[in-house]
């Protein structure tokens, strides 16, 4: 309960608004506004009432002072006057005998009733961030009506809402007033206002905000001072729309979290109505200022109205199951009623937008701008789009000499977009010169070594594909009537020649010595389709590795397969490390194809699908079903920051028809289809947890006596070892958090918002898998901890492991070519082709690699995508305001942060350990992708909270 403080009172005026004052209502409301000149005046209320029973006229007046802290006192003075009158004749509809009696009337008048009411003065300080697009973007210029609004002190209308209902009336308790612009500091504008709050107002619960300007503003926070229990801080960090765009007020709750059943009665309606607003009605095209979260299928990747060759199938549904994306409501294409029109503006709920630091430095918009500025220039500079590199020295020159770019209409545009890569010469010309990645700096020929090829399956960019071989012979599960014999061409004789010390392949399998990269069944159905695309080719592939006594992997064999097509039978061949010149070069070409497969799988499945794509439904459901007051919402919120916008921008310029992925990766126009096939066949929520993923791939088994409860199949597995440290730290933090708010499992079961959230994720967000039996139940605290830990891991550790090493490992593209443009020389070669291969095998490899334009485009994009923004928020680095509100949660977070700092030291120690050959050695780049913290830029380390790039 509020207690009085010694403040002077302020006079009261009444402002009548003929528009909704109470959130959601439509009636006119009187609004008390307190002005500064009347600070010393007493507040006097006069009430006049008529008591019909005895014809008493009642007049009541009361006065009070803000500084009053004494009990309310009432003084009454009553005067009674008796009068005798003789009335005139009264006519009546009923006959009566006329009489003229004397009538006496008694009138009692209550002349004075003084009631002393008590108030406290509460000061509100509102911080608004200066933004490029908001109403503050042109301060100092003529802004018409908005300037007048500021001058009148009516920039923001605030309404304080008590957490308690009025016990007498059952109504919400509110106090309102306008905030005026007070001062400006670097990057921010401060608004202030003072409220006269009744002593019995109760605990502060929320603030309703109406933006009186014609443009949106970014509201950072609201601080309320003068309350008896201390300051109240509301962390807003949200765009507030103009009332002219939407008349509904925005509600901002205090930082205190409540389960639905614990919601104070004064906030119940606001909590429910805010969720209704966020869900929308599923109708119409979304407007940029809206905050509506809804679902749709991926039907906006193509542009059939522009060109029918850019038509793409819908992802999401029976044919191509896929997670759902955010609904935009754009109209359908004229040439394809199933596809949605693309536009220059891509809707995401307004609060999902990037901060301006990120927006202007590292984002897919930068990628988009780079492509529109860089690609035409490269085409001009290189003349031939299909031109490859004639020599390896030409590839090296990208890092030493660079590419002279023609003049741009906009001077310095690439220098702004790619400050690391574009050098402005004294002549004023732009030169695109790439920074050598750390792998190349340490060992120029790192990409050539088989040991590095194998090591990167454990400590490289895609550590999610390697599996333990558990059955022999290797067989395809595809229909042999369509794709040919299912048996692998890798025979036991081939393997037994290479596995020294093991007499049989069965013994090697029993001892868990054989591992595989298997891209056979996923890619084989697309071989004939992809080969119809000019400038690319495809195979199904299998690559076998052997675990040595040192704990490293040695590649044994690569199998490339072409299905029956064009009247030709199935073709398959096994390539091995060789001791003769022809065999060596064939092996190198086979490796180039496998690396292109691994690059495609990494980008389309390990990266895009398993982090970006599957997370979007979690974000939508969280905003639709969990109130911002919900503790689980506040736990997940930092892990969902910016993801929807980066996904929308990816649909705009990365994964769209003709975009970066399709034009530079082997599957071409079928890239996202393959991603959908992988989702349908491989993705399971219960196996996205790191321990479950390792067990599924045979890379670990459960062992209660081992660290993390798992025994790794390969002890020196850098990704798994560091990842399990991160997983355990996250799980302990989530456990501490969940157990605080859910004292027992019954609270989980009766939490309506939580249950609706999980149901919607399963049945709507991932609707194509809603009937799968593997979805975890949500009945216990342990269930909730497992679900949340998985989501947090995917958005932080998993994403960091597959994203921030992109330039380190693929910046020198021969190490990880994204596309293989030619078939291996042994597949139906012409005499001329074979002759040229024998004469100049290096040329065959260079022709197989990406073209100059493809390579430089991908290198530029990977540089951007590997960058940490200056405003990056790393996991465990910054405490959310709502976490700091609860002492138990605050302490748990500090322990979490401490564990992450310890992890940094452990990883450094491991990288310095010469016994760990997969992370230490001559020319070997240490494995740092799961080190929690980083500086800005391309560092090859750092785990942000969320998927923000």
Largest CA distance in the chain: 141
- Counting Cα atoms < 13 Å in the Cβ hemisphere of 154 gives 10
pLDDT of 145 reads 52
The answer on pLDDT for 362 being more than 70 is no
Cα distance between residue 667 and residue 910, in whole Å: 38
Q: Give the pLDDT confidence of 820-853 residue by residue, as tens digits.
A: 999 999 999 999 999 999 999 999 999 999 999 9
* pLDDT at residue 887 greater than cutoff 50: yes
C-alpha distance from residue 311 to each of 316, 526, 823 (Å): 16, 17, 27
Residue written as tokens 């905050």?
Answer: 291
pLDDT bin (cut points 50, 70, 90) of residue 428 is low
620 is catalytic: no
Residue 436 predicted with pLDDT over 70: yes
Asked if residue 500 lies in contact with residue 786, where contact means CB atoms within 8 angstroms, the answer is: no
CB 661 within 8 A of CB 671: yes
Instruction: Decide: helix, strand or coil at residue 208.
Output: strand
Whether the CB-CB separation of 49 and 63 falls below 8 Å is answered with no
| Amino acid 151: pLDDT | 52
Asked which of 26-35, 255-264, 448-457, 860-869 is least confident by mean pLDDT, the reply is 26-35
- What percent of the chain clears pLDDT 70, i.e. is strictly above it? 81
- Rounded CA separation 297/324 (Å): 5
- What pTM was estimated for this model as a whole? 0.87
Amino acid 341: pLDDT: 95
Q: State the pairing for strand pair 119-129/553-562.
A: unpaired
* Two structure tokens written together for 22: 């109470």
Query: Per mean pLDDT, which range of 105-119, 294-308, 637-651 is the poorest?
Result: 105-119
Predicted local distance difference test score (pLDDT) of residue 398: 93
Find the angle CA(893)-CA(899)-CA(904) to the nearest 5 degrees.
130
Identify the pLDDT of residue 161. Answer: 97
Dihedrals φ, ψ of 192, to 5°?
Answer: -140, 155
Provide mean pLDDT across the span 562-584. Answer: 96
Whether the per-residue pLDDT at 263 is higher than 60: the answer is yes
Asked if the model's pLDDT at residue 546 lies above 70, the reply is yes
Q: H/E element holding 180? A: strand 172-185
Confidence (pLDDT) at 371? 66
- Is residue 403 very low, low, confident or very high in pLDDT (cuts 50, 70, 90)? confident
**What does each C-alpha distance from 683 to 570, 675, 696, 769, 772 come to in angstroms?**
29, 10, 12, 9, 11
φ, ψ for residue 79 (rounded to 5)?
Answer: -120, 130
CA 443 to chain CA centroid, nearest Å:
36
Mean pLDDT of 783-808: 98
Whether the upstream peptide bond of residue 908 has omega within 30° of 0, thus cis, is no
Which neighbouring-strand residues pair with 543?
A: 517, 558
Cα–Cα dist 169/396, whole Å: 79
Between 58-72, 507-521, 581-595, the lowest mean confidence (pLDDT) is in: 58-72
Spatial CB neighbours of 427, under 8 Å, sequence gap ≥ 6: none
CA distance 593 to 517: 12
The span from the CA of 796 to the CA of 708, in Å, is 19
Is pLDDT above 70 for 738? yes
E strand segments, 655-761: 700-702, 710-712
pLDDT of residue 550 exceeding 60, the answer is yes
In sequence order, what DSSP letters do the residues of 472-521 get, joined into one string? SS-B--S-HHHH---B-S--HHHHHTT-TT-SSHHHHHHTT-EEEEEEHH
Average pLDDT score over the chain: 86
Q: What is the pLDDT of residue 386?
A: 86
Beta bridge mates, 198: 119
Instruction: State the Rg of the chain over Cα.
Output: 35
Q: Is the pLDDT of residue 18 over 50?
A: no
Candidate list 213, 612, 639, 708, residue with the active-site label: 612
What pLDDT does 356 receive? 61
The reply to whether 799 belongs to the active site is yes
Which pLDDT belongs to residue 791? 98
Q: How confident is the model at residue 107 (pLDDT cuts 50, 70, 90)?
A: very low
Of 26-30, 41-45, 191-195, 376-380, the range with the highest mean pLDDT is 191-195
Is 607 assigned a catalytic role? yes
**Angstrom distance (rounded) from CA 183 to CA 449:** 62
Q: How confident is the model at residue 783 (pLDDT cuts 50, 70, 90)?
A: very high
Instruction: Compute the distance between CA of residue 212 and CA of residue 146 in angstroms, rounded to an integer.
Output: 8
Instruction: Report the DSSP beta bridge partners of residue 332.
Output: 340
214 or 719, greater pLDDT: 719
Q: Which residues pair with 175 in a beta bridge?
A: 160
pLDDT tens sequence across 171-184:
999 999 999 988 88
For residue 452, count CB atoms less than 10 angstroms from its CB and return exposed for 0-12, middle for 13-18, buried for 19 or more: buried
- Distance CA(447)–CA(237), nearest Å, equals 45
Active site (annotated) includes residue 803: yes
One of 799, 823, 858, 911 is an active-site residue; which one? 799
The token pair that represents 741 in the structure block: 């708010």
Mark whether 766 is an active-site residue: no
Q: What is the pLDDT of residue 480?
A: 97
Marked catalytic residue, from 462, 721, 803, 918? 803
pLDDT tier for residue 150 given thresholds of 50, 70 and 90: low
Q: Active-site residue among 292, 674, 858, 949?
A: 949
* Span of 164-168, 622-626, 759-763, 897-901 with lowest mean pLDDT: 164-168
- Which 3 state secondary structure label does DSSP give 26? coil
**Cα atoms found within 13 Å of the Cα of residue 562, Cβ hemisphere only:** 20
The answer to whether the CB of 223 falls within 8 A of the CB of 124 is yes
Rounded Cα–Cα distance for residues 714 and 459 (Å): 12
Termini Cα distance of the chain:
46
Residue 503 confidence (pLDDT): 81
The catalytic residue among 7, 607, 637, 798 is 607
């Amino acid at each position: 309960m509020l207690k009085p403080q010694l403040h002077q009172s302020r006079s009261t005026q009444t402002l009548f608004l003929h528009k909704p004052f109470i959130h959601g209502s439509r009636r006119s409301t009187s609004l008390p506004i307190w002005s500064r000149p009347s600070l010393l005046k007493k507040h006097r209320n006069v009430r006049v009432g008529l008591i019909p029973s005895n014809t008493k006229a009642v007049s009541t007046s009361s006065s009070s002072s803000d500084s009053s802290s004494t009990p309310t006192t009432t003084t009454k003075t009553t005067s009674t006057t008796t009068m005798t009158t003789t009335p005139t004749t009264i006519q009546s509809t009923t006959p009566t005998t006329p009489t003229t009696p004397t009538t006496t009337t008694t009138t009692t008048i209550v002349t004075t009733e003084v009631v002393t009411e008590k108030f406290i003065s509460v000061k509100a300080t509102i911080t608004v961030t200066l933004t490029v697009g908001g109403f503050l973007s042109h301060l100092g210029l003529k802004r018409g009506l908005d300037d007048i609004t500021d001058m009148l002190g009516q920039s923001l209308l605030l309404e304080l809402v008590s957490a308690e209902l009025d016990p007498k009336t059952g109504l919400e308790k509110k106090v309102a007033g306008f905030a005026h612009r007070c001062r400006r500091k670097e990057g921010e504008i401060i608004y202030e206002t003072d409220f006269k709050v009744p002593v019995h107002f109760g605990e502060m619960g929320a603030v309703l905000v109406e933006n009186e300007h014609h443009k949106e503003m970014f509201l950072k926070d609201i601080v309320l001072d003068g309350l008896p229990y201390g300051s109240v801080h509301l962390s807003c960090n949200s765009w507030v729309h103009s009332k002219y765009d939407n008349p509904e007020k925005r509600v901002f709750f205090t930082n205190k979290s409540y389960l639905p059943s614990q919601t104070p009665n004064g906030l119940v309606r606001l909590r429910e109505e805010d969720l209704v607003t966020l869900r929308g009605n599923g109708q119409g095209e979304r407007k940029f200022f809206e905050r509506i979260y809804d679902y749709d299928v991926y039907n906006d990747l193509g542009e059939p109205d522009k060109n029918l060759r850019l038509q793409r199938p819908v992802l999401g549904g029976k044919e191509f199951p896929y997670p759902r994306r955010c609904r935009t409501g754009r109209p359908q294409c004229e040439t394809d009623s199933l596809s949605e029109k693309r536009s220059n503006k891509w809707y995401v709920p307004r609060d999902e937008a990037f901060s301006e630091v990120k927006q202007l430095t590292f984002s897919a918009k930068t990628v988009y701008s780079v492509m529109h500025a860089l690609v035409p220039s490269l085409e001009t500079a290189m003349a031939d789009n299909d031109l490859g590199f004639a020599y390896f020295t030409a590839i090296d020159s990208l890092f030493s000499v660079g590419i002279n770019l023609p003049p741009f209409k906009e001077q310095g545009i690439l220098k702004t977009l790619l400050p690391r890569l574009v050098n402005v010469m004294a002549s004023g010309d732009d030169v695109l010169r790439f920074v050598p990645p750390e792998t190349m700096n340490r060992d120029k020929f790192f990409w050539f070594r088989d040991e590095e090829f194998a090591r990167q399956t454990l400590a490289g960019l895609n550590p999610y594909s390697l599996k333990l071989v558990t059955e022999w012979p290797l067989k395809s599960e595809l229909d042999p009537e369509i794709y040919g014999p299912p048996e692998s061409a890798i025979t036991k004789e081939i393997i037994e020649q290479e596995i020294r010390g093991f007499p049989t392949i069965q013994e090697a399998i029993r001892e868990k010595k054989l591992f595989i990269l298997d891209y056979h069944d996923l890619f084989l159905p697309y071989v004939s389709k992809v080969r119809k695309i000019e400038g690319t080719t495809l195979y199904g592939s299998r690559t076998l590795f052997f675990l040595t006594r040192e704990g490293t992997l040695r590649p044994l064999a690569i199998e490339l397969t072409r299905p029956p097509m064009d009247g030709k039978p199935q073709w398959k061949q096994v390539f091995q490390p060789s001791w003769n010149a022809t065999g060596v070069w064939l092996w190198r070409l086979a490796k180039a194809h496998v690396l292109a497969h691994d690059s495609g799988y990494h980008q389309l499945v390990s990266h895009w699908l398993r982090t970006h794509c599957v997370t979007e439904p979690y974000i939508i459901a969280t905003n639709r079903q969990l109130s911002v007051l919900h503790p689980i919402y506040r736990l997940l919120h930092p892990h969902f920051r910016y993801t929807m916008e980066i996904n929308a921008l990816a649909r705009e310029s990365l994964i769209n028809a003709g975009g970066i992925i399709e034009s530079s990766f082997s599957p071409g126009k079928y890239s996202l289809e393959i991603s959908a096939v992988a989702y349908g066949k491989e993705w399971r929520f219960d196996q996205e947890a790191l321990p479950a993923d390792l067990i599924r791939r045979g890379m670990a088994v459960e062992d209660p006596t081992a660290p993390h409860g798992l025994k790794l199949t390969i002890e020196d597995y850098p990704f798994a070892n560091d990842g399990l440290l991160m997983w355990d730290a996250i799980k302990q933090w989530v456990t501490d958090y969940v157990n605080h708010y859910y004292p027992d499992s019954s609270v989980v079961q009766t939490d309506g918002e939580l249950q609706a959230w999980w149901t919607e994720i399963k049945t709507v967000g991932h609707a194509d898998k809603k009937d799968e039996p593997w979805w975890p139940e949500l009945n216990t605290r342990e269930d909730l901890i497992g679900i949340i830990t998985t989501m947090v891991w995917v958005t932080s550790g998993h994403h960091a492991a597959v994203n921030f090493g992109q330039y380190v490992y693929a910046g020198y593209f021969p190490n990880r070519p994204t596309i293989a443009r030619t078939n291996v020389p042994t597949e139906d070669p012409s005499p001329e082709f074979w002759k040229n291969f024998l004469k100049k095998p290096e040329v065959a490899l260079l022709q197989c690699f990406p073209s100059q334009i493809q390579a430089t485009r991908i290198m530029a994009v990977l540089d951007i995508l590997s960058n940490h923004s200056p405003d990056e928020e790393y996991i465990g680095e910054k405490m959310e305001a709502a976490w700091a509100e609860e002492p138990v949660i605050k302490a748990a977070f500090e322990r979490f942060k401490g564990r992450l700092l310890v992890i940094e030291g452990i990883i450094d120690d491991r990288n310095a350990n010469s016994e760990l050959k997969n992370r230490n050695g001559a020319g070997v780049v240490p494995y740092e992708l799961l080190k929690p913290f980083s500086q800005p830029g391309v560092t090859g380390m750092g785990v942000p909270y969320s998927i923000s790039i």
